[in-house]
Structure 1
């Protein structure tokens, strides 16, 4: 354990340096709104907190939202744009939630600091706050992102993780975003909160001649599989969801990794993390040490929210997150 932790510490130091250099180049900075809108971060946090107290599923939705935004066109709020053939219209994004929270924060910020705070920064900060509100670490992330002006449905599928992905497919996709194998394992820990539709793991079961589901993916714990069948029987309504984490569904903790070792990863893309020697070692480390997971989460989340950012004279500061200013 000491050897693996030491290796992780060295890796984290490298990631910090890489992230710092990337941020300087990207012109993001800490306290970006200190002069132009000093209350920006507290306003966003208050909106996320009040929304989460009303709907405890909000933190998971906001965390998923930032992933789906940053992986397509970079962290530029392209997912917020509405209209025909935008990213929201792709089936992979139709179940993404949390948009109303971002819109609420934007409306208030436009009253206090018109034309100042980007929707892209609101998404990143809201996801950061959601993690802390759910019991996770508070991550310091820089701001200064600008909003993109392009949102095309056809860009979604090649750029988001499918729940049936193999290890190689996930590694390739994460690498294309500048994210490492370590980042892959850490950021997968986001599945410690949130929910998923029954269709997202349907490929692990097969319907028999009597219309009942049976487990065909033997990497899944049979008792857990039976619970999933009860919650998601054949013919279940498309709107039905189950918790990503069957143990502590509303808490951002390291239970996700403990679930993986117990063969209770909801998606195939979760389960494959223990089929690879390198990633399994990381899973074991994080399952045994929540603080280690939290420390590494900070750096990987910082990298995630810096993917493909637009700064300076690129993009714009939208007045409404749902449409460009033009």
Structure 2
């Protein structure tokens, strides 16, 4: 079933644009149950409450938008967009080492507490994650647009499902394409959604494969695709004996702004991860990287389309899930 969706975009310094976006949804009850007006009568203030919570948290901590965006990716790629990444407990997704550096949980919990006061048992944690990530992009200067809601929370969260379903920073292009295709995301979506790295922080261990240490522990560059000056800066920030908590900005130029600088960085051979750099090196994606680097509005429009597709991966609706009372625990 092909559904035409109208998305309202508003971007800084631009008139509001009404973009018609076409998506081919599977003819399933899950997608059909999602709606842009899902909480219109049951909780009219739902989106305002989430947005206000994100803006308040971000004003106190500029790293929040990047954390919320990453949280959405790690949720949707494993078990679908069902808030399974929020569940606490031994053996849950949250306990996997790949997820121990995730953040933004307190923002989701804060929004949930307010929503439970005004609309008890109504708004799912899965919707809160999706809305919070959408709002995080807008707070950081990116495009603002509508996304459908109506997701329900999953009851299953298994750490064993994490590693096979998330992108490792050392992935090759073919490995990323295979994973994205398994989530019904295209090559264009891969390039576009990689733009999430225009905000956020990364631990030194996430890009350590691009360097090696000599017998004295000194870092040396082994990935010659990386700009040498940028490589030197990274090695200074991640010296021998550095704390495992050491972080660097994904985007060294505009660290907390959601813009197209990430793609300009790639063109300048300043992609932090190997999985970033391959987007420029591979002929299948180079032109799209260059187009986004040259025109931010092209990137923003593409982002809205791909982000929407991301937020409907494996959604659960109606009897497939539940509305958790607490985002950290399934209902009894």
- TM bucket (normalised to shorter chain) is over 0.9
Contact 2:193 2:306 in 1 (8 A): yes
In structure 2, what is the equivalent of residue 158 of structure 1? 164
CA distance in 1, matches of 2:23, 2:271: 32
Range with greater deviation from structure 2 (171-180 or 15-24): 15-24
1:209 maps to 2:204: no
In structure 1, what is the equivalent of residue 6 of structure 2? none
CA distance in 2, matches of 1:34, 1:26: 17
The equivalent position to 1:314 in structure 2, one of 306, 311, 320, is 320
Contact 1:69 1:77 in 2 (8 A): yes
In structure 2, what is the equivalent of residue 58 of structure 1? 64
Q: Secondary structure of the residue that 1:17 maps to in structure 2?
A: strand
TM-score by length of 2: 0.92
In structure 2, what is the equivalent of residue 102 of structure 1? 108
Which consecutive residues of structure 1, in runs of 5 or more, have no partner in the other structure?
1-12
Specify which structure has the higher proportion of strand: 2
TM-score by length of 1: 0.94
| 1:78-127: CA deviation from partner (whole Å, max 9, x where unpaired) | 00000000001111100010000000000110000000000000000000
In structure 2, what is the equivalent of residue 6 of structure 1? none
Instruction: Give 1:22 deviation, angstroms.
Output: 7.1
1:245 maps to 2:251: yes
Instruction: Give 1:202 deviation, angstroms.
Output: 0.5
Instruction: Give 1:25 deviation, angstroms.
Output: 3.7
CA distance in 1, matches of 2:323, 2:30: 20
CA distance in 1, matches of 2:268, 2:210: 17
CA distance in 2, matches of 1:190, 1:318: 28
Instruction: Give 1:41 deviation, angstroms.
Output: 0.3
Contact 1:19 1:303 in 2 (8 A): no
Instruction: Give 1:27 deviation, angstroms.
Output: 1.2
Q: Which runs of 4+ in 1 moved over 4 A?
A: 19-24
Instruction: Give 1:17 deviation, angstroms.
Output: 2.9
Q: Aligned pairs, how many?
A: 314
In structure 1, what is the equivalent of residue 46 of structure 2? 40
Which consecutive residues of structure 2, in runs of 5 or more, have no partner in the other structure?
1-18
In structure 2, what is the equivalent of residue 78 of structure 1? 84
